Structure 1
Amino acid sequence: MTGPRDTAFNSFLKNFAEDVGKFFKGANVLASIRDEDVNVGATPKTLVMRRDKVELFRYEPTAERTVETPVLIVYGLIGRYTIADLQPDRSLVRSLLSEGIDLWLIDWGRPGRSERWLTMDDYVDDYIHEAVCRICRETGHDKVTLLGICEGGVFTTCYAALHPEKVKNLVLTITPIDFHADIADPVANHGLLNIWTRSLAPKDIDQMVDVLGAIPGEFISSIFSLLTPMRSLTEYNVDLIKIVDDKDKLMQFLHMVKWLADRPDHPGEAGRQLLKELYQENRLVEGRFELSGRIVDLRAIDAPVLNIFSLGDHIIPSTCSKALGGKIGSIDYTEIPLLGGHVGLFVSGRSRGKLTKSIAEWLQERDK
């Protein structure tokens, strides 16, 4: 007679055997994949301009043009733009190109010790401004549309306020504007990054930047991992084992891992501004943030604005993004909340499809 204990043991042996079989099959799948197969940011593009380590690219068109105004993608310095072009079937870039959009990109490169003194002033009033002017010369337009992502959205918001004459439209995705709005967020795990950053002693921020000249990429990665500790503990064992014998899912996993591992150092002085003046002192939304000797007045933004945020974003809570609505001068303001998380907005098939459609339709309506 078989008892409950025997049944449980037999079930354990069966599951163990299945996992072992899956592991060996997965090992063969993994052995067949080469580094060049996991290629992020691979959508064809042409280098148009290089200024220091910063490069301006123009993507090759894949469909008949439906939006004439050029669109410049600006990602932040915390991470790489390649999250928007992760792999062919999970690429916001390819999706927008298929909608007939003239797409451009700023690649910040990999800042090192020589960039330690660069400030947000340099990124907004020098690099972005030069890129915008070059795009205008190349295309014959006098304005461009800016598409800012995360910290890049902060840069483009500041640029639109300081140079409204050069901005046709402003599209923001997962962009923090009010860095203290998370205090009133009802979801407990939203805004942990903001809480941690506000808890830092200003002198400790100064010491890190003064000694290292940067906010190390490895340090930034560790902070993001600590925001979701259980997921960080299980993704390379439990989660990986579940999909290791499925090549398509494994490739998705490897593309994401490659993007996560490619986190450059954040230039020191720009990082000091970000942590102290924005995260801690909340100067942007309060009208006290200064770049190149000028106050960034959000009321000076007179271009149409599309503000897209993720309702499940634990890094940039939606409340931090929504704060822009009542602060700008433009009467053409649209908010689109989407389901998903901070990264899922760009790599999830469902979220990315809605994101692309929302951006394309909004731009087409304003390109007449």
Structure 2
Amino acid sequence: MTTAAPQSDPSVAARIQSEVQRAIQRNIKGVEYFTSPAPAVGSTPKDVLHVRGTMNLYHYHPLAGEVYRVAVLLVMAPTNRAYVFDMAPGQSLVEFLLKRGYDVFALDWAPPRPDEKKLQFDDYALDFIPDAIRRIQIETGEPDVTILGYCAGGILSLIYTSLNAGGPVRNLVCFTTPIDFHQMTLFRNWSDERHFDVDKLVDSLGNVPPEVVTAGFDMLRPASRVFAQINLWDNIWNDEYVKSYRMFDRWGADTLPLPGEYFRQMIKDLLWRNKLHNNELVVGGRKVNLSNIKIPMLHAVAEHDHIAPYEATKHLIPKIGSADKEEIVFKGGHVSVIAGANAIRRLWPKLDNWLGVRST
């Protein structure tokens, strides 16, 4: 009596073949990843309107037949480059605003020179921003400007606007802007004044290297870089995923050195003393009181922001003196509020609806 040969399960064979093909495709795409050039960023056509030291002012070419009267000035945080506003066609806040009829300008920052190590809040909020606004007024022929500040760019925009009540700012928009720095728990632990000698660091180095800044960010999520690379490997055959990963990874790694005095102020006045939240911050010889801001104000914050936690950002709108003020909370993290699928689907349309009726 003979025994029948066991029948192979066709589903098992199909799964093995699928995994083999996936492994082959993953390796092919892995080679392409390391040999292909990085995707272009910041490609929306623009003119460089003004350059002065670390300051760069851009004016983007219009993409609509008619534009709103009130121009929009995007203000980036001094730690990063402004191309996060303009990642790629279809993923660009700049492009979105231009197509909706806004006249868009942006303040971008270059690495500070050694002789710019003494730049501080006063220089950014009371020199660079008003200089940009004056040049926008000349360029457009209009007196009013909307400011949109991201993260620390929002802090500088708040300082400028609060000290220039009745000035040219028609509307103020902030994205993920912390106000209560005592709720920035991990950053405060990293910079604990019992152990962190900021004076010695700044006096020794002048400008603070980007590695010091990124060390603080990496401390917030120490395993995030590893997880991101694992997810990249799992999705390496997905061209859109890889393109998006490379753009955001490039921007995250493109951290700028900070002027030493600016860094010293951030640590001492904000993280240690919480002076902005307590109405004790002095800039240009005057106290910054956010209740002086009476213009329309919109603040977009992220529910799961590990850099500017909601506990640190939620106190901003209650401190604003305007009757026309609004906070909107989105799911996601620090960057997904300004760029990426969540921003495209939710934040950008909301921003357009809010801004359009206030820009005529």
Conserved 8 A contact 2:84-2:251: yes
1:227 aligns with 2:230: no
Cα deviation 1:112-131 (Å, max 9, x = unaligned): 32221111100111111111
Conserved 8 A contact 1:112-1:265: no
C-alpha spacing 1:202/1:28, structure 2 compared with 1 (3 Å): closer
Conserved 8 A contact 2:53-2:112: no
Determine the structure 1 residue equivalent to 2:164: 163
1:21 aligns with 2:24: yes
Cα deviation 1:165-190 (Å, max 9, x = unaligned): 1211100110011212x3xxxxxxxx
Q: Which amino acid aligns with 1:313?
A: D
For residues 326-365 of structure 1, what are the structure 2 equivalents within 5 Å? 326-365=318-357
Aligned with 2:175 (options 154, 173, 176)? 173
Taking the aligned partners of 2:58 and 2:240, their CA distance within structure 1 comes to 29
Segment drifting more, 16-25 vs 67-76: 16-25
Q: Which amino acid aligns with 1:78?
A: T
Taking the aligned partners of 2:23 and 2:76, their CA distance within structure 1 comes to 42
Aligned with 1:311 (options 293, 303, 307)? 303
Conserved 8 A contact 1:289-1:296: yes
Structure whose CA Rg is larger: 2
Gaps of 5+ in 2: 7-12
Conserved 8 A contact 2:337-2:343: yes
Taking the aligned partners of 2:195 and 2:297, their CA distance within structure 1 comes to 34
Conserved 8 A contact 2:332-2:342: no
The alignment's C-alpha RMSD in Å is 2.4
Taking the aligned partners of 1:82 and 1:66, their CA distance within structure 2 comes to 22
Conserved 8 A contact 1:132-1:144: yes
Whichever structure has more helix as a proportion of its residues is 1
Following superposition, the deviation at residue 66 of structure 1 comes to 4.9
Conserved 8 A contact 2:281-2:288: yes
What is the percent sequence identity of the aligned residues? Answer: 32
Following superposition, the deviation at residue 281 of structure 1 comes to 0.6
Taking the aligned partners of 1:218 and 1:32, their CA distance within structure 2 comes to 26
Taking the aligned partners of 1:43 and 1:78, their CA distance within structure 2 comes to 22
Conserved 8 A contact 2:49-2:57: yes
Taking the aligned partners of 1:192 and 1:21, their CA distance within structure 2 comes to 45
Cα deviation 1:320-353 (Å, max 9, x = unaligned): 2221222222111111111110011123213333
For residues 223-262 of structure 1, what are the structure 2 equivalents within 5 Å? 223-236=216-229, 238-262=230-254
For residues 34-113 of structure 1, what are the structure 2 equivalents within 5 Å? 34-35=37-38, 38-113=39-114
Aligned with 1:289 (options 266, 281, 285)? 281
Cα deviation 1:60-111 (Å, max 9, x = unaligned): 1112335320110001112211212122222111111121111101111111
Conserved 8 A contact 1:29-1:245: no
Following superposition, the deviation at residue 16 of structure 1 comes to 7.0
Q: Which amino acid aligns with 1:55?
A: N
Following superposition, the deviation at residue 284 of structure 1 comes to 0.6
TM-score by length of 2: 0.90
Q: Secondary structure in 2 aligned to 1:23?
A: helix
TM-score by length of 1: 0.88
Conserved 8 A contact 2:175-2:338: no
